[in-house]
């Protein structure tokens, strides 16, 4: 039974016509997604995104504009009693990424291994994303870019 919301906030960072993606592995579950994570109680969505980029990449970002918010039901992949609501923002930074790999523990006690990389943003790379919410946000962004 779904009895909780899980609010997720993700950043779309485009630099030199490439997008930053995160290949992650949580205890054997591999996924390709956008950088970001879960909103914590008492935190706004923009502050969440700034915190996530600082924790995962040690960069300061500027949150530019909201690109997409999920408008359909999405059940959490990891917790079957949760409905996911995701917000995708366009972000920018002048900081250089020093380390494209990181490992963080999750609230479920698992290890989350990140491998970040830059990819050309096109329909082929969008198809590589694991979650439909990321695909929807990126397709919407591509449509606005013309």
Please give the CATH architecture assigned to the domain spanning 4-145: Alpha-Beta Complex (3.90)
pLDDT over 90 at 124, yes or no: no
Please give the model's pTM, rounded to 2 decimal places. Answer: 0.91
Domain ranges in the chain?
4-145
- Is residue 56 a contact partner of residue 104, using CB atoms and an 8 Å limit? yes
User: Alpha carbon 130 to chain centroid distance?
Assistant: 11
- Better-predicted residue by pLDDT, 64 or 143: 64
On whether the CB atoms of residues 10 and 49 are closer than 8 A, the answer is yes
Give the max Cα distance, the chain: 44
- pLDDT at position 143 is 86
Listed in sequence order, the residues at least 6 apart from 43 whose beta carbon sits closer than 8 Å to its beta carbon are 51
Q: What is the pLDDT of residue 107?
A: 62
Residue pLDDT, tens place only, 59-104: 999 999 999 999 999 888 888 899 999 999 999 999 999 988 877 6
pLDDT-derived band of residue 112, with 50, 70 and 90 as boundaries?
Answer: confident
In three-state secondary structure terms, 126 is helix
Check residue 16 and give left, alpha or beta (phi > 0: left; psi -120 to 50: alpha). Answer: left
Say how far apart CA 103 and CA 110 lie, in whole Å: 10
Reduce the DSSP state of residue 77 to 3 states and report it. coil
pLDDT interval class at 108 (50, 70, 90): low
Angle subtended at Cα 111 by Cα 50 and Cα 41, rounded to the nearest 5 degrees:
40
pLDDT level of residue 109 (50, 70, 90 thresholds): low
Contact at 8 Å (CB) between 142 and 123?
Answer: yes
Structure tokens at 75: 């059940």
Confidence of residue 128 (pLDDT cuts 50, 70, 90): very high
């Amino acid at each position: 039974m779904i009895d909780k919301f899980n609010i997720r906030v993700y950043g779309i960072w485009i630099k030199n016509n490439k997008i930053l993606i995160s290949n992650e592995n949580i205890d054997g579950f591999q996924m390709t997604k956008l950088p970001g994570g879960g909103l914590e109680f008492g935190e706004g969505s923009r502050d969440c995104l700034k915190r996530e980029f600082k924790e995962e990449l040690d960069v300061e970002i500027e949150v530019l504009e909201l690109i997409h918010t999920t408008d359909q039901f999405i059940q959490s992949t990891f917790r079957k009693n949760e409905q996911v609501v995701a917000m995708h923002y366009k972000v920018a930074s002048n900081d250089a990424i020093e380390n494209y790999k990181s490992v963080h523990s999750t609230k479920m006690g698992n290890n989350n291994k990140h491998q970040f990389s830059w990819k050309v943003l096109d329909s082929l790379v969008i198809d590589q994303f694991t979650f439909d919410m990321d695909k929807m946000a990126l397709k919407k962004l591509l449509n606005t870019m013309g």
